[in-house]
Amino acid sequence: MPSKLSLNLSIAAILGMLSMAGAVQAADECKWESTPGPMQFNHNLGAAAWVARDAPIGSKIASWGLQIMTGTDGARLVCDSDGLRTLTANVTTPLALARGPFPPVDGRNVDGKVLQTSIPGVGLYVEFSSFLNGTANNHFKALDGVGALPFVAEQNERMAPNNLTSNIQRLGYIALIKTDKIPAGPQLFSQEVARANISDVGDALRLTLSGQVMQAQCTLKADAVSANPVQLGQHDIAEFTGQGSTTNPVDFFITLSDCEDDPAGSVARAFMRLDAADGSAPIDRDLGLFSLTTTESSASGIGIQVLRSDNTPVKLEEFIDMAAVTPGTMRFDLRARYYQTAPAVTPGEAKGALNFTIEYR
């Protein structure tokens, strides 16, 4: 009888221990702490991001490192796991993918992940950090190892010592990228860019980003050239003593008006390209030397050379870096002169023509 009683007590003790163990097991689930979601995150990227007007497609406009956001609606997500069930976060975007391909940005492969914002020509790339893509055992982890929107993340580890309780989301990296020509003037966007559907709770997170883009550029007015045509003067044949001889240069300048650039520091440089026009043709591109017009000129044996103010030639048919863009008015100081190109020079009208193009990069 005593031995039988002892056996019953042992079984009861074991059952009690099992019951206690079951009571402390984590429930593999996500739920709302009290106020139901989705959690709403709103983040403004701050001061206007500036980009050179003629920057190539794929250029980075601006980027930001770690951004920490707190939900605005009082909802807090609680997830717990003993690692027996996989919890999933499907992070999607309502934005369309921008048409690529795109080169790497800051060493990141962004191709296929650039989203088109409401600003034509401006794309968005976003990498999530914790909680939707973290390193701790109570974080979700992106299956792509990056967390670049859109992505899927999972949590299948035992959360210890703490479960996940959060209304805070971190973004590890954000970039604005040029995807096409951008309209002139201030350009603003404010739009929902991400949604997260999480196991058990469904619609769990909404992210809205806001920002502004400005282009660094100038305008060219009708009187941009100080003298048009530039008068190179009358000269005696005796001034030309052989091939390579020149007349004294005549100064002129090109004015860029209404220039805009980041007040905190220029992001753009102005480039100028000169192309022969109206029957003129390049003679020596590196020397900035071009021929007289074929229809209005009767002189021969000479061409026209364009120089910077320091007398270095301005190369033809390629964009030349002239100066950093500065707000207000800028000008390019140039010079032009006749240049003997043949053993003999014959008198007559000597006219030449160039077109100039300005780009901002």
Calpha distance 334→225 (Å, rounded): 10
Q: What is the pLDDT of residue 27?
A: 78
Pick from 330, 328, 339, 338: nearest CA to 358: 330
Do residues 60 and 176 make contact, with C-beta atoms less than 8 angstroms apart?
A: yes
Residue 98 per-residue DSSP state: P
Average pLDDT over residues 54-75: 96
Pick from 223, 214, 222, 217: nearest CA to 324: 217
Average pLDDT over residues 70-90: 95
Residue type, 174: I
pLDDT class for 26, splitting at 50, 70, 90? low
pLDDT class for 25, splitting at 50, 70, 90? low
pTM: 0.83
Token digits for 108? 């990141």
Residue type, 151: F
Do residues 175 and 125 make contact, with C-beta atoms less than 8 angstroms apart?
A: yes
Task: Name the residue with tokens 């008198």.
Answer: 347
Average pLDDT over residues 121-133: 98
Average pLDDT over residues 247-275: 96
Residues 303-328: tens digit of each pLDDT: 999 999 999 999 999 999 999 999 99
Q: Write down all domains in the chain, each with its CATH number in brackets.
A: 27-215 (2.60.40.3310), 220-360 (2.60.40.1090)
